Amino acid sequence: MKKIKLIFFTLLGYLSNVFFLSSATENVKNYRPNVLFIMADDCTYNEIGCYGGKNARTPNIDKLSEEGIMFNRAYVGMSMSVPCRHELYTGLYPLESGCVWNHSQSRPGTKSVFHYLNDLGYRVGLTGKKHIQPRDVFPYIAVPGFEENCVLAKEKKEDLSGIKSFMEKDRDQPFCLFVCSTSPHAPWTLGDTSAYPPEKLILPPTLGDTPEVREAYSRYLAEVTYFDRQVGEVLKTLEETGLAENTIVMLSTEQGWQFSGGKWTNWNQGVHTGLIVRWPGVIDGGRKTDALVQFADITPTLIDVAGGKAKKNLSGKSFLEVLRGKKDNHREYVYCMHNNVPEGKPYPIRTIISEEYHYIQNLLPDSTYFEKHLEAAAHNESWWQSWKNAGKRSERERFLVDRFYHRPAVELYSVEDDPNQFHNLANSPAYAGIMKKLSRELEKWMKKQNDPGISVDTQSAYKNKYYHFMK
């Protein structure tokens, strides 16, 4: 009898364990965290403290990096707000979505993260800067709170109540909220410049050194700190809801600044973005990774996090395994492009970046590069004109100006040894093999995108909007 009882209780214990483990597995399977994605506007990644910034005070972003994982090698596919945001939300390269110029739009019928997460039961909202269209491609819930106008010259204090209400609306339904600041986009009028005396600033090597440049740089840094304050306020609001422990926080600095050599280029300070992810209970704080990722990878990652499966037609791929610490790498290459129309005359650029090298093809190297916003700054402000004038007297300033306006057909830079990209290796015989390999891989990518190169960057192609070379 005792033996029968022993067998009975042993079996009961076994079945209980099976039930418990099954339930736990199901809970893990059904566990779907909230997502809070915070994005700057034209913030050069290495101006942030945790990325090595020498000037800007960014305590809130730095703290976030200590609580999560910091990506050292994240990139946007185009260093312009409209195309890179379309890439982020659609998971598609520019030629795949149709948004291949600034101030253009995705092809009608394109799906975005707002569709994908909606279908998975998420409420998906957006507050602040939009720069995405048409609306049916991006069916977000409009959340009040952050300013939309990226060139507003005066402070318009954000209202966190709308964000808080959105987060708290239905606790049984997970949310994904994109909080898109307009800082530190030019004209750099927000924040406290007294914290950054121009004469005491440590200028990055890529900036010309004139009093006017220093004054503009001071204003830019003040607005970087202004953005950091916004990050702190949003994270505080999340804490107040009691939902922080069940929320993934992602932060991106977007593309680089509006100083020459930043946005509107395929150089490192244009396409390299900061990316930090905090995930309580999953990501150990203080991690750093050199895994190559780009904006197109974020949507499939969020689909993966939400328990879905990304469609095979997406350009990006999920880096969830990197977040979980199960993989140290992600991509072999990231890809970037630039079409200069409508911001200036045609100047198409194509780029491939590996772990070791940054390879650029300027498809119209005999042309002089022209970008209308920067040239307007020379008239509306004095910093760019003062820089160009200094180039008449200083070899250093002349080098920086000339490299901006006149570029060779091919550029090759060491990622580790030359982050400022001053030493072009393309003409060195020692790098001929690397050049051949990267050129071949870039050509394969362009062919896959149906990218004819020069003919995309024309006024007629831009006016057509849905370019006939596209799929």
Q: Helix (H, G, I), strand (E, B), or coil: what is residue 46?
A: helix
| Cα–Cα distance for residue pair 335/451, rounded to 1 Å | 13
* CATH code of the domain containing 100: 3.40.720.10
Query: DSSP letters along 294-339, please?
Result: EGGGHHHHHHHHTT----TT-S----HHHHTTS-S---S-EEEEE-
Last residue of a domain, one of 307, 331, 355: 331
Does one domain contain both 404 and 274? no
Does one domain contain both 46 and 194? yes
Q: Residue 284: exposed, middle, or buried by beta-carbon count in 10 A (0-12, 13-18, 19+)?
A: exposed
| Cα–Cα distance for residue pair 176/299, rounded to 1 Å | 12
Q: pLDDT in tens for each of the 471 residues of the chain?
A: 444 444 444 444 443 443 333 333 333 334 699 999 999 999 999 999 999 999 999 999 999 999 999 999 999 999 999 999 999 999 999 999 999 999 999 999 999 999 999 999 999 999 999 999 999 999 999 999 999 999 887 777 889 999 999 999 988 899 999 999 999 999 999 999 999 999 999 999 999 999 999 999 999 999 999 999 999 999 999 999 999 999 999 999 999 999 999 999 999 999 999 999 999 999 999 999 999 999 999 999 999 999 999 988 999 999 999 999 999 999 999 999 999 999 999 999 999 999 999 999 999 999 999 998 888 765 567 899 999 999 888 999 999 999 999 999 999 999 999 999 999 999 999 999 999 999 999 999 999 999 999 999 999 899 876 544 455
- Tell me the whole-structure pTM to 2 decimals: 0.92
Cβ atoms of residues 252 and 232 within 8 Å: no
Residue 14 inside a domain? The answer is no
What is the largest distance, in Å, between two alpha-carbon atoms of the chain? 103
Which of 419, 42, 420 shows the shortest CA–CA distance to 220? 42
Residue 206 inside a domain? The answer is yes
Q: Residue 471: exposed, middle, or buried by beta-carbon count in 10 A (0-12, 13-18, 19+)?
A: exposed
Amino acid at 157: K
Cβ atoms of residues 270 and 263 within 8 Å: yes
pLDDT for 7 equals: 45
pLDDT for 270 equals: 97
Residue 1 inside a domain? The answer is no
Token pair 């009691």 is found at: 242
Residue 6 inside a domain? The answer is no
Does one domain contain both 159 and 308? yes
Does one domain contain both 429 and 394? yes
Does one domain contain both 49 and 134? yes
pLDDT for 465 equals: 65
Residue 469 inside a domain? The answer is no
Last residue of a domain, one of 298, 331, 364: 331
pLDDT for 217 equals: 97
Residue 460 inside a domain? The answer is yes
Does one domain contain both 79 and 145? yes
Last residue of a domain, one of 280, 313, 331: 331
**78: which DSSP letter?**
S
pLDDT for 12 equals: 45
Does one domain contain both 306 and 350? no
Domain count, the chain: 2
Cβ atoms of residues 227 and 62 within 8 Å: no
Check residue 313 and give left, alpha or beta (phi > 0: left; psi -120 to 50: alpha): alpha
pLDDT for 97 equals: 94
Does one domain contain both 227 and 275? yes
Q: In which domain, by residue range, is 457 found?
A: 338-464
Query: DSSP letters along 235-254, please?
Result: HHHHHHHT-GGGEEEEEE--
Does one domain contain both 159 and 100? yes
Does one domain contain both 73 and 135? yes
**198: which DSSP letter?**
G
Does one domain contain both 349 and 455? yes
Cβ atoms of residues 328 and 393 within 8 Å: no
Residue 22 inside a domain? The answer is no
Residue 16 inside a domain? The answer is no
Cβ atoms of residues 269 and 206 within 8 Å: yes
Does one domain contain both 125 and 229? yes
